[in-house]
């Protein structure tokens, strides 16, 4: 799983999944990204059920960005998980 998709490819996949056009999909992706930035700038974390938690941890004068994956992602990656649903 080392290959990444581009933002454009992600927007295309999202548009198909949501049965909408790429312009609407791009607007949603940009809105979510901007909202995440604003939330982090305010010093808050974000928890998205089914995806995981994103947060900043202060270490002295610097910050470390952290991601704690959901149980579903842990199961997908073969990590210890309590997730019982479909992947």
Largest CA distance in the chain: 46
In percent, the amount of the chain with pLDDT more than 90 equals 71
From the options 4.10.520.10, 1.10.287.130, 3.10.20.90, 3.40.50.970, give the CATH code of 7-76: 4.10.520.10
CA distance to 18, 68, 84, per residue, from 73 (Å): 21, 10, 12
- What pLDDT is attached to residue 1? 58
Residue given tokens 């295309």 in the structure block: 12
Kindly report, residue by residue over 33-67, the tens digit of the pLDDT. 999 999 999 989 999 999 999 998 888 899 899 99
User: What 8-state DSSP symbol labels residue 1?
Assistant: -
What is the rounded average pLDDT for all residues in the chain? Answer: 92
What are phi and psi for residue 81, nearest 5 degrees?
Answer: -150, 150
pTM score: 0.79
| Euclidean distance between CA atoms 10 and 70, whole angstroms | 20
Residue given tokens 């949603």 in the structure block: 28
CA distance to 2, 18, 62, 79, per residue, from 58 (Å): 29, 37, 6, 27
- What pLDDT is attached to residue 87? 81
Examine the pLDDT at 81 and tell me if it is beyond 80. Answer: no
């Amino acid at each position: 799983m080392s290959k990444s998709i581009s933002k454009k490819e992600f927007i295309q996949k999202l548009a198909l999944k949501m049965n909408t056009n790429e312009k609407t999909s791009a607007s949603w992706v940009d809105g979510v990204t901007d909202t995440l930035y604003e939330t982090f700038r305010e010093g808050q974390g974000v928890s998205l059920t089914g995806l995981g938690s994103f947060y900043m941890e202060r270490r002295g004068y610097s910050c470390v960005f952290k991601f704690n994956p959901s149980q579903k992602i842990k199961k997908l990656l073969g990590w210890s998980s309590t997730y019982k649903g479909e992947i």
